[in-house]
Amino acid sequence: MHHPVPPDSRGMDEPLNLVLFSGTDDKLTAAAVLAAGAAALGRPVNVFLQYWALDAFRADRIEQDHGLAPEAGEAGRAAVDRLREAGQSSWAETLRQAKQLGGVDIQACSLSMDLLRLETSDLDPLVDGVEGVTAFHLAAGDGQVVFI
Amino acid sequence: MHHPVPPDSRGMDEPLNLVLFSGTDDKLTAAAVLAAGAAALGRPVNVFLQYWALDAFRADRIEQDHGLAPEAGEAGRAAVDRLREAGQSSWAETLRQAKQLGGVDIQACSLSMDLLRLETSDLDPLVDGVEGVTAFHLAAGDGQVVFI
Amino acid sequence: MHHPVPPDSRGMDEPLNLVLFSGTDDKLTAAAVLAAGAAALGRPVNVFLQYWALDAFRADRIEQDHGLAPEAGEAGRAAVDRLREAGQSSWAETLRQAKQLGGVDIQACSLSMDLLRLETSDLDPLVDGVEGVTAFHLAAGDGQVVFI
């Protein structure tokens, strides 16, 4: 999946900025794949965790089943389970691997920390810190912002 | 939460463009916080209201309870209620404050107006007008587009 | 709906990049409208199909009812049905028309093809091919990325 970076690749210096809102395993997997793909291309990736996505990064829950979007239905559930049993990495593992490539920064939204009454010590070590929305916008610059 | 704008902040001249589709209070709050943060940094913000988000901006419903994403569950519901009772602004109030900073323009999608059989007079005064998707794209320019 | 392109329109050379994740008819219609609007302005559009959106592009299901977001409720369901009966194009038809304008490329995510155990021959001819996330990022360049 990792092609060499072509010399004319545009936009690859700007960070990819992911605002994660949903905490279901299908959306978190989609987000982790986008992050890992960008990191493999050498792009900085900023992840900002809000609401139910932040809840999924709690140290005591990150490896649990977080459900799927309602539209997945029984067939979707079976498909996800089958791929997982075949050895697919969890989204948390994909993010851990992406962080090892460097350039992936994961921040919890301070307002969502208040909402869920969380302390930094409640979060998985994947999370690098807590910041407000202004800091997120400044880090994003004019890079792509993707809400998931 | 409002840091001074650093002189080298990139991308801050381009508008932030939010396409609001979902009408639940959690997503609308996340959107309002992103809009308010960008407005506080002096960035133009364009909001384009579609489908269930547009429905939530009806004058007679904007202050009502619009529910949460299904994944919120009972614990999420309780967390949102607790923060609201502690005095957190509603998303509508956050958007009103952001508009007072200037630079926030909120437009209803003309196709969704037809879908929901709405007239301009049905909408809360937060909404500045009605436009088509072409006008949205032209206003967005090459600024970030975020679908929520 | 198609305004002439003003000479100072910014960002119109960069592609619009849509990651489609959800497979409900309301979100797919919103996505098709964004794609068609950009194509009408002469912008390249890259569509990347994942998860339940990819499932909706199966040749044997594309014209079926794919449901709506849970928040639509009965009133939303009735509104969508009424507009459809009044002759509104389906999202698939809107995408076909957008492709005729040129510049719209639709790719299936290779990981989601594995997840759903699909072959290229299972997909509607609207889909131009299968690619990985790296190819998606490279095609997107620094154009807007929208996750729907």
Mutate to test the interface with B, among C16, C22, C68, C71 (most CBs of B within 10 A): C71
pLDDT (average), residues B58-87: 96
Confidence of residue B11 (pLDDT cuts 50, 70, 90): low
Number of residues that make up chain C: 148
Q: How far is CA B122 from the centre of its chain?
A: 17
Mutate to test the interface with A, among C137, C144, C146, C148 (most CBs of A within 10 A): C137
Q: What is the DSSP string of A50-63?
A: -HHHHHHTBTTTTT
The pLDDT, as a whole number, for residue A3 is 43
Helix (H) / strand (E) containing A30 = helix A25-40
The pLDDT, as a whole number, for residue A101 is 93
The pLDDT, as a whole number, for residue C5 is 45
Partner A contacted by B144 (CB < 8 A): yes
* pLDDT at residue C12 tops 90: no
Nearest CA to CA, how far is B88 from chain A (Å)? 10
Question: Which 92-121 residues of chain A touch chain C by CB within 8 A?
Answer: none
Partner C contacted by B122 (CB < 8 A): no
The pLDDT, as a whole number, for residue C11 is 55
* pLDDT at residue C126 tops 70: yes
Nearest CA to CA, how far is C28 from chain A (Å)? 13
Nearest CA to CA, how far is B55 from chain C (Å)? 9
- What is the dihedral sign for C-alpha B25, B31, B37, B39? negative
d(CA C54, CA C41): 26
pLDDT (average), residues B104-124: 98
Torsion of CA C52, C58, C61, C66, to 10 degrees: 20
Output the CA angle A6-A10-A16, nearest 5 degrees: 110
The pLDDT, as a whole number, for residue A13 is 81
Q: Tens digit of pLDDT for each residue in C27-45? A: 999 999 999 999 999 999 9
Q: What is the DSSP string of chain C?
A: --PPPPTT--STTSPEEEEE---SHHHHHHHHHHHHHHHHTT--EEEEE-HHHHHHTBTTTTTS-----GGGHHHHHHHHHHHHHTTPPPHHHHHHHHHHTS-EEEEEEHHHHHHTT--GGGB-TT--EEE-HHHHHHHHTTS-EEE-
Confidence of residue C52 (pLDDT cuts 50, 70, 90): very high
Partners of C10 on chain B (C-beta within 8 Å) are 141-142
pTM for this prediction: 0.93
Residue A42, Cβ neighbours under 10 Å: how many?
Answer: 13
So what's the ipTM on this one? Answer: 0.91
Partner A contacted by B147 (CB < 8 A): yes
Q: Which residue has the higher pLDDT, B78 or B142?
A: B78
**In this complex, which of A6, A9, A70 lies closest to C70 when CB atoms are compared?**
A70
**In this complex, which of C24, C142, C147 lies closest to A148 when CB atoms are compared?**
C147
Strand A145-147 relative to strand C129-131, pairing: unpaired
The pLDDT, as a whole number, for residue C8 is 45
Q: Which residue has the higher pLDDT, B142 or B145?
A: B145
- Tokens 């463009």 — which residue? B17
- What is the dihedral sign for C-alpha C91, C93, C94, C95? positive
The pLDDT, as a whole number, for residue A30 is 98
pLDDT (average), residues B92-98: 98
Look at B146 and A146 and tell me if their CB atoms are within 8 Å: yes
Look at C134 and A41 and tell me if their CB atoms are within 8 Å: yes
CB pairs under 8 A between A and B: 79
- A-chain residue closest to C20, CA distance: A30
The pLDDT, as a whole number, for residue B80 is 97
Using DSSP, how many helices (H) and how many strands (E) does chain B show? 6, 5
Nearest CA to CA, how far is A85 from chain C (Å)? 12
Closest CA to A80 of A28, A129, A7: A28
CB C65 within 8 A of CB C92: no
